[in-house]
Amino acid sequence: MNKMRFARVELENWKNFTSVEVDLANRVFIVGPNAIGKSNFLQVFRFLRDLVLEGGGLGPAVNQRGGMGKVRSLYARGLNTDVMIRVVVKDEAGAGWRYELAFAHESDRNPRPVVVRELVDRLRVSGETERKLARPDNQDETDPERLKETAIGVLRANQDFRELADFFRTVAYLHLVPQLLREEQSPRGDTLGTDPYGRDLLDQIRNTTPRTQKARLRRLERVLKTVAPQLENLRLEIDEHGQPHLEGKFRHWRPQGAYQDERQLSDGTLRLIGLLWSLQEPGGPLLLEEPELSLHTAIVKRLAPFIHRAQVGGAGRQVILTTHSEHLLMDAGIAPEEVLLMLPAAEGAQVVEGAARSEIVRLMQAGLTASEAVLPRTETRQMALFDRLNV
């Protein structure tokens, strides 16, 4: 089986989205004003992962996000107030899966989430589909307690579509916060799986075989030199308390240089290390929050093609990222299909494919970059009020 990725996502009543239906490319740039739902959208894929993680499942995945009242859209009303997530997952040949989950709170007295519908379809290259799961089923009817759990998250129940569960497990999210990485003792919080803020980056590096670790650190070192030319000989060292540290030799006027570890490295260096490491990890879809943060614009301008090269020549992970950076979107290689715009809707927000807007496609075909053709469209009228405000 070759590499799978999310090819489409449809949502109902998820956070601030009443309804979403979009195709997803192998590299996705999500743009939109502040508080429009970019991070909420990334949460969908983390939620699917949380369903299948050890210690995860429907209850924990919802509780982790503050309960049904926070996950379900505040705009939801009328006949359909279920939260619904439907994804199409495909490999390069076009075979894959469709997964659909609708859930609701059990009753007004009991806000815990229960499965309203869970469907799994196998998609063949020929276009045929084969239903592998349709819930509620007879067993659910005799024992409604079963609806507290999804089948995808239960090993006993997912043997016919284990591949899909395994795929959800490979989703990773990275929003590396340098200061948290530097503070050794900072609590990990109660997130499931890997730490979203990159605090377990050093453990991830430690958990590779010496050979892989060395090869990846060498590659990392080469790229890091573009932002921190004095840095060389990057290595992972374990201190006397068993804590891993990323050390680099800092070249200065003394001939032998001096070793520094992550606590001395700059914000931009640390964020770049997180990005480069995760691009090299042989995982599934990689969700990145604003990868431009802390980086010089001359580097940011080069990020989009860099990610593309990492996809083609490296681990081949699908990358779904949010950004506010016009520099990141300046690359001429970005196609309209790779851009998702989030815009205010009558209630909440809507997600629009760049390729679905003819004026965007026309401008980009005429040679304008996503920065020029897309970003201005995400400005709202209210933003101009900033000019007249004071504090």
Ligand X SMILES: Nc1ncnc2c1ncn2[C@@H]1O[C@H](COP(=O)(O)OP(=O)(O)OP(=O)(O)O)[C@@H](O)[C@H]1O
Nearer to ligand X, 16 or 269 (CB): 16
Work out what residue 132 binds among ligand X, Mg ion, none; the CB cut-off runs from 5 to 8 Å by kind.
none
Beta carbon of residue 198, minimum distance to Mg ion (angstroms, whole number):
16
In the complex, what is the shortest distance from the CB of residue 32 to ligand X, in angstroms, rounded to a whole number? 6
Residue placing its CB nearer to Mg ion in the complex, 165 or 288: 288
How does DSSP assign 111-141, residue by residue? --EEEEEEEEEEE-TTS-EEEEEEES-HHHH
Residue 146 interacts with ligand X (CB under 6 A)?
Answer: no
* Chosen from Mg ion, ligand X, none, partner binding at 15 (C-beta under 5 to 8 Å by type): ligand X
CA distances in angstroms from 326 to 32, 57, 301, 311, listed in the order given: 12, 38, 8, 22
Choose among 174, 182, 115: nearest CA to 145: 115
For ligand X, the closer of residues 76 and 227 by Cβ is 76
| Binding status of residue 32 toward ligand X by CB under 6 A | yes
What is the CA angle 208-214-220, rounded to 5?
100
> What is the DSSP track for 64-104?
HTT-HHHHB-TT--TT---EEEEEEEEETTS-EEEEEEEEE
Is residue 90 near ligand X by the rule CB under 6 A?
no
Q: Do the beta carbons of residue 50 and residue 351 sit within 8 Å?
A: no
The number of residues making up the chain comes to: 391
With CA atoms as reference, report the closest residue to 42 among 14, 19, 67: 14
Residue 37 site contact among ligand X, Mg ion, none (CB < 5 to 8 Å, cut-off depends on kind): ligand X
Distance, CA of 97 to CA of 165 (rounded, Å): 10
The one among 34, 126, 138, 142 contacting ligand X by CB under 6 A:
34
Smallest gap from residue 16 Cβ to Mg ion (A): 12
Kindly determine how many residues on this chain lie close enough to bind ligand X according to the rule CB under 6 A.
15
Whose Cβ is closer to ligand X: residue 96's or residue 178's? 178
Q: Which of Mg ion, ligand X, none interacts with 198 (beta carbon under 5 to 8 A by kind)? A: none
Output the smallest distance, CB 68 to ligand X, in A: 9
* E strand intervals along 213-295: 231-238, 244-250, 258-261, 286-289
> Could you say which of Mg ion, ligand X, none residue 40 binds, taking C-beta under 5 to 8 angstroms by partner kind?
ligand X
Q: Are 252 and 258 in contact (CB under 8 A)?
A: yes
Residue nearest to Mg ion (CB): 39
Q: Which stretch binds ligand X (CB under 6 A): 28-36, 55-63, 307-315, 382-390?
A: 28-36
Select from ligand X, Mg ion, none the partner in contact with residue 19, using the beta carbon and a kind-dependent cut-off of 5 to 8 Å. none
Report in angstroms how near the CB of residue 66 gets to ligand X at its nearest: 8
| Interface with ligand X, residue 134, by CB under 6 A | no
C-alpha span between 88 and 24 (Å, rounded): 9
Shortest Å, Cβ 120 to Mg ion: 30
76-106 burial by CB neighbour count: b if 16+ within 10 A, else e? beeeeebbbbbbbbbbeeebbbbbbbbbbbe
Residue choice 1, 21, 70, 218 for contact with ligand X (CB under 6 A): 70
Q: Is 73 in the site for ligand X (CB under 6 A)?
A: yes
- Round to whole Å and give the CA distance between 160 and 157: 8
Minimum gap (Å) between residue 41 Cβ and Mg ion: 9
Of 271, 263, 262, whose CA–CA distance to 296 is shortest? 271
> What minimum distance in Å lies between the beta carbon of 41 and ligand X?
7
Residues that bind ligand X (CB under 6 A): 15-16, 32, 34-40, 70, 72-74, 348
